[in-house]
Amino acid sequence: MSAFRCGIGYDAHRLISGRKLILGGVEISHHCGLEGHSDADVLSHAIADAVLGALGAGDIGKHFPNTDEAIRGISSIEILRHVATIAAQKNARVVNVDATLLAEAPKILPHIPAIQKKIAAALGAQVDAISIKATTNEGLGAIGRGEGMSAIAVASVVVE
């Protein structure tokens, strides 16, 4: 008997100069990038936590601690591939992901198809099962002031 499960993920990172901006595995032109131990891909991190939550497998920090120098700068797409391996070990697969990026800039609409393809490939999911949206914080708080970005994601998995 199959079981459907869902999980939620959230992540936030500060914007800093001198780093590339990577969102959903895609490099996006911007004057700042996200600060973090990995490539700081806030969108992929929220998705990873959502899938891990659905699997009952902890969070991204458990699997990729920021104290591990061996993984400094790791691609968050690699993190998603690892999450897909955990799912396979649990006889599960990702059914869908719905994620929202919160950022004042840059506009990501033109990049969404490429982001969907990268995330779908990493998770072994269909491209049309990966929904990526973006919104601003309407000038409110640190995100609204352009000091950082955050993302929230929900993922569904089926366990066979």
Q: Model confidence over 37-52: pLDDT tens digits?
A: 999 999 999 999 999 9
pLDDT digits (tens, 9 = 90+) for 89-126: 999 999 999 999 999 999 999 999 999 999 999 999 99
In whole numbers, what is the pLDDT of the chain averaged over residues? 97
Residue 160 lies in a domain: no
Using CA of residue 124, residue 9, residue 63, residue 4, what is the dihedral sign?
A: negative
Residue 2 lies in a domain: no
Which residues constitute the domain of residue 16? 11-91+114-150
Contact 82, 63 (CB under 8 A): yes
Measured CA to CA, the distance from residue 69 to residue 2 in angstroms comes to 39
How long a stretch of residues is the chain?
160
Residue 155 lies in a domain: no
The per-residue DSSP string of 38-95 comes to S---HHHHHHHHHHHHHHT---HHHHS-TT-GGGTT--HHHHHHHHHHHHHHTTEEEE
Return the amino acid letter for 89. Answer: Q
Q: Which residues lie below 8 Å from residue 56, measured CB to CB, with a gap of 6+?
A: 5
Residue 105 lies in a domain: no
pTM: 0.97
Residue 159 lies in a domain: no
Q: Domains in the chain: how many in total?
A: 1
Q: Which residues pair with 16 in a beta bridge?
A: 33
